[in-house]
């Protein structure tokens, strides 16, 4: 059957064949499969199902039909879509709270097991990884970065892109807003929909999360994982630090939300 490419990243080819997604495996694949199988066992409807491996050794997952990628950004621009985005994350966190992975499984950040207060976060809960059917979320994809962390990690990660924690020029050019949004309002809407009414010093918390993602990127690059190795080689960690400092230096845009 013909292959339909689902990514523009030549170092990590993901293709669709019929209604199956074929993806390259990595060292964290056994851990992610265990998580996805748990989600299937509790009938969580928003995660792909593990189907096995193909003749080339690629993992095969069920295809989640709908709009994602760039289109996912547009779905969260208004308050209604933003609330659904937050409630989707909460629904995952509620379900995964009871998951206890086997100690030997290694996640993408090298962690094994769960520390007190941790869950397995999605780790990449951005609007591009949400599949929509019309105005309703239909699924969450790309679970590669799942790893143990406190739930706030996913919340802060989502807020970085949903608020967003970017300057006005980047917000308009790259985050698809038609005008500069009220970031405090958007944080409030997201947190209330999630059920987490307030985060003290949210700008500093997001900056810390941004640095953690940089550490995660550096770890993967050190292990030779692409595209992280290429990103680090091209100076991306310096850009990550610039974004974290920007979040700290512009706290007035976000505090009081």
Written as one string, the DSSP assignment of 176-226 is: --SS---HHHHHHHHHHHHT----TTHHHHHHHHHHHHHHHHHHHHHTT-T
Whether the per-residue pLDDT at 150 is higher than 70: the answer is yes
Confidence check: pLDDT of 257 > 60: no
pLDDT in the model for residue 138: 97
pLDDT of residue 1: 64
* CA–CA dist 239, 217 (Å, integer): 12
Q: How far apart are CA 91 and CA 84, in angstroms?
A: 10
Task: Tell me how far CA of residue 128 lies from CA of 40, 201, 251, in angstroms.
Answer: 22, 26, 25
User: How much is the pTM?
Assistant: 0.94
For residue 97, what pLDDT is reported?
98
Q: Which helix (H) or strand (E) holds 231?
A: helix 228-233
What mean pLDDT do residues 183-200 have? 93
- Residue % of the chain over a pLDDT of 70: 97
Residue tagged 């969450």 (tokens): 140
Do 85 and 76 meet the contact criterion of CB atoms below 8 Å apart? Answer: yes
Averaged pLDDT score across all residues of the chain: 94
CA distance 224 to 63: 28
Assess contact for 14 and 22: CB atoms under 8 A.
Answer: yes
What's the pLDDT tens digit per position in 211-225?
999 999 999 999 999
- Mean pLDDT over 174-186 rounds to 94
Name the 3-class secondary structure at 149: strand
Does position 196 have pLDDT exceeding 90, yes or no?
Answer: no
Q: Is the pLDDT of residue 5 over 80?
A: no
> What is the model's pLDDT at position 10?
65
The predicted pLDDT at position 6 comes to 72
Spell out the residues 6+ positions from residue 190 whose beta carbon is closer than 8 angstroms to its own.
Answer: 82, 83, 85, 86, 158, 159, 162, 163
pLDDT at 37: 98
CATH of domain 70-253: 3.90.1200.10
Question: Is the distance from CB of 60 to CB of 52 less than 8 angstroms?
Answer: yes
Per-residue pLDDT at 256 exceeds 90: no
Map residue 130 onto helix, strand or coil. Answer: strand
Q: Where are the domains of the chain?
A: 4-62, 70-253
Q: Give the pLDDT score at 198.
A: 81
Confidence of residue 255 (pLDDT cuts 50, 70, 90): confident
Query: Is residue 91 within 8 Å of 136, Cβ to Cβ?
Result: no
Q: Is 82 helix (H, G, I), strand (E, B) or coil?
A: helix
**For 49-94, how does the pLDDT look when each residue is reduced to its tens digit (9 = 90+)?**
999 999 999 999 999 999 998 899 999 999 999 999 999 999 999 9
pLDDT over threshold 90, residue 160: yes
Counting Cα atoms < 13 Å in the Cβ hemisphere of 202 gives 26
Quick one: average pLDDT of 96-125? 96
Query: How far apart (Å, rounded) are the C-alpha atoms in residues 241 and 210?
Result: 8
Share of the chain above pLDDT 90, in %: 88
pLDDT of residue 95: 98
Strands (E), the chain: 4-5, 15-17, 20-23, 50-53, 59-62, 119-121, 130-133, 136-140, 147-149
């Amino acid at each position: 059957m013909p292959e339909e490419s689902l990514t523009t990243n030549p170092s990590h080819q993901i293709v669709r064949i019929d209604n199956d997604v074929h993806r390259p495996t990595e060292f964290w694949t056994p851990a992610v499969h265990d998580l996805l199988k748990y989600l299937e066992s509790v009938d969580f409807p928003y995660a792909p199902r593990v189907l096995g491996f193909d003749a080339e050794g690629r993992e095969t997952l069920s295809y989640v039909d709908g709009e994602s990628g760039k289109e996912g950004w547009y779905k969260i621009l208004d308050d209604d879509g933003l609330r659904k985005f937050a409630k989707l994350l909460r629904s995952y966190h509620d379900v995964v709270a009871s998951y206890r992975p086997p100690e030997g499984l290694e996640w993408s950040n090298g962690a094994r097991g769960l520390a007190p207060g941790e869950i397995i976060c999605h780790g990449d809960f951005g609007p591009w990884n949400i599949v929509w059917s019309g105005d309703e979320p239909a699924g969450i994809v790309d679970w590669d970065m799942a790893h143990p962390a406190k739930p706030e990690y996913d919340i802060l990660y989502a807020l970085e892109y949903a608020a967003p924690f970017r300057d006005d020029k980047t917000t308009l050019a790259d985050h698809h807003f038609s005008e500069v949004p009220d970031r405090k309002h958007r944080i409030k809407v997201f947190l209330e929909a999630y059920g987490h009414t307030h985060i003290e010093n949210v700008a500093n918390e997001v900056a810390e999360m941004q640095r953690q993602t940089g550490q995660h990127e550096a770890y993967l690059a050190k292990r030779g994982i692409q595209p992280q190795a290429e990103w680090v080689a091209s100076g991306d960690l310096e850009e990550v630090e610039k974004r974290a400092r920007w979040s700290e230096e512009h706290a007035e845009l976000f505090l009081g939300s």
